[in-house]
Chain A
């Protein structure tokens, strides 16, 4: 099976997964107790007519299967419906907010890479020494802290006591510096939560390479340790590092939800939480569709890159 065929196959396999995921979310939301029309209007008094109108506007009087198919059909055309709470097209809100979450996730990921890869390499090179040990423990401590708790502690220390960074918010149309300034604490909190994975995978990938015969040969020929690490080992450790990306994506997305909540960043994560709390079905459905699609496509991309870089892997 060629690469193109492999990609096509994987893409087709994604279809039932994505549809299944949307169906799952749809059913879960619609089986929950409570009348959406009332939830839309809140607890205050509303005339019967208003409630009828709401049902009409949001297709709530259609049978469930029809609601789902209508939604799916519209979603295929890029229309994810209108938010119950904000009464705005969900697609529009997602388009508006995704850059914020993307910037947060990306900076968190970069921090994890910037810290985790060197730490992993050092850990591997100094295998079974104190350095290795301490690195592992520190990295694991990062992943063991609830990300939101870490965020709170960072705010307490760096905003409240030291005043170095803003306590919350995101400079949407600020300068690059503004944005970095706002992003620093959230990105640290988010990055720390995934760094252990980076360290672990870099370490074991490096170890695999360092134990290869040709590295031993190079060593015995007197090639310097630095050249071995940068010249041989690092290049070969690239593949496993790529896999981390795939594994970290879900963690990054989940972490973003918590980080955005702690730091008051109006990204997709906080939109989701608010939508869940307000039972804003269209928004929850739209967001989960987007999140699931991103997840499966990123995983596919990682797999394809992986096979592309490493032709030894078979396509099945």
Chain B
């Protein structure tokens, strides 16, 4: 059995276990697709998601962190087929969904929903709360009119809003309240999997905690599986079972949440973690500062994507080819040549000299 065969078997196994599985997912954008631009060669490719694989077991929460612009929102939206994947495969409950047409995928939307980031744009200001919450049920034709209204009011209760808000307009509510409406909308069709795209990043810290708690409660109650996207590690730690760290369209480190937090392996993860204010001010940690801005995803660096800013860059090896994942411990992987024994040895030899 070759390595690839073994990997493929392992992938399939994992994919069968997991509710959501992603294999080698790529999403490229092309700008300026007009005829003239093609003639002039003005078409630009942005590699927003570039070969990402992971699994989310049912009932768990997978965190996805990274700086803004690293492709995490695109990844989340691609999972829900808001974008067509360029390459790779997405499995839902063992079933490949990448190539499904919009029509074929439509029934699955009852199981896969999304909660959005911006409380000011996530609700159509021209619709009343009730219409907003019942929209997925209306569109997907779930239940009759009375059922939908009853369900929406029940959800209002559950997300901590008054039932009387049903007939009111979004502008009458605060950001936190709107976010609750967004949650109610996502849950209205009783999904199993919800992508939470920075659901609290635009909220006050005090409100953030309430919403996170709500999400947690709802997960318990409905047995939900979350993909929780955030740029804020402190938020993620609270809610996630597993964690993936993303940089410029690629996952650089993935593992159990605790493992990643306690034992970060990738230099980028370490840098991110060092920036999180520690709840215990007595612990003195060395903060790692990253220089410069992330390179443009249009024109990512050769080799390891992080090499241009990496404080622990080894040398030319980092510029040659993108590093593979290296197993750190069970289920904890990091994509960095630091973990390659051969490279590491040659480096220590060099150090010794």
| Residue ranges of A at the interface with B (Cβ–Cβ < 8 Å) | 1, 5, 8-9, 12-13, 316
Q: Is the interface of A mostly helix, strand, loop or mixed?
A: helix
Question: What residues of A have a CB within 8 angstroms of the CB of B36 in the complex?
Answer: 9, 12-13
Question: What residues of B have a CB within 8 angstroms of the CB of A1 in the complex?
Answer: 42
Do A316 and B39 touch across chains, with their CB atoms under 8 A apart?
no
Interfacial residues of chain B within 25-44, with CB under 8 A of chain A in the complex: 31-32, 34, 36-37, 39-40, 42
The 8 closest A-B pairs by CB, nearest first: A12-B36, A13-B36, A9-B40, A9-B36, A9-B42, A1-B42, A316-B32, A8-B40
Do A5 and B32 touch across chains, with their CB atoms under 8 A apart?
no
Selected from B31, B34, B42, the residue in CB contact (under 8 A) with A5 is B42
Question: What residues of B have a CB within 8 angstroms of the CB of A5 in the complex?
Answer: 40, 42
Q: In the complex, how many angstroms separate the beta carbon of A316 from the nearest chain B beta carbon?
A: 7
Across chains A and B, the number of contacting residue pairs, with CB separation under 8 Å, is 15
Cα A9 to Cα B32 with chains together (Å): 11
Cα A233 to Cα B34 with chains together (Å): 39
Nearest opposing residue in chain A for B41, CB measure: A5
Do A12 and B42 touch across chains, with their CB atoms under 8 A apart?
no
Q: In the complex, how many angstroms separate the beta carbon of B31 from the nearest chain A beta carbon?
A: 8
Question: What residues of A have a CB within 8 angstroms of the CB of B34 in the complex?
Answer: 13
Interface residues on B, range: under 10
Which of B36, B37, B40 gathers most chain A CB within 10 Å?
B36
What string of 1s and 0s marks CB contacts (under 8 Å) between B39-60 and chain A?
Answer: 1101000000000000000000
Question: What residues of A have a CB within 8 angstroms of the CB of B42 in the complex?
Answer: 1, 5, 9
Cα A200 to Cα B42 with chains together (Å): 37
Nearest opposing residue in chain A for B37, CB measure: A9
Q: In the complex, how many angstroms separate the beta carbon of A11 from the nearest chain B beta carbon?
A: 9
Question: What residues of B have a CB within 8 angstroms of the CB of A8 in the complex?
Answer: 40
Cα A5 to Cα B41 with chains together (Å): 10
Nearest opposing residue in chain B for A6, CB measure: B42
Do B32 and A12 touch across chains, with their CB atoms under 8 A apart?
no
Cα A12 to Cα B41 with chains together (Å): 13
Question: What residues of A have a CB within 8 angstroms of the CB of B37 in the complex?
Answer: 9
Cα A9 to Cα B37 with chains together (Å): 7
Nearest opposing residue in chain B for A316, CB measure: B32
Question: What residues of A have a CB within 8 angstroms of the CB of B39 in the complex?
Answer: 12
**Would you give 15 A-B contacts (Cβ < 8 Å), ordered by A?**
A1-B42, A5-B40, A5-B42, A8-B40, A9-B36, A9-B37, A9-B40, A9-B42, A12-B36, A12-B39, A12-B40, A13-B34, A13-B36, A316-B31, A316-B32
Cα A12 to Cα B36 with chains together (Å): 7
Nearest opposing residue in chain B for A14, CB measure: B36
Q: In the complex, how many angstroms separate the beta carbon of A15 from the nearest chain B beta carbon?
A: 8
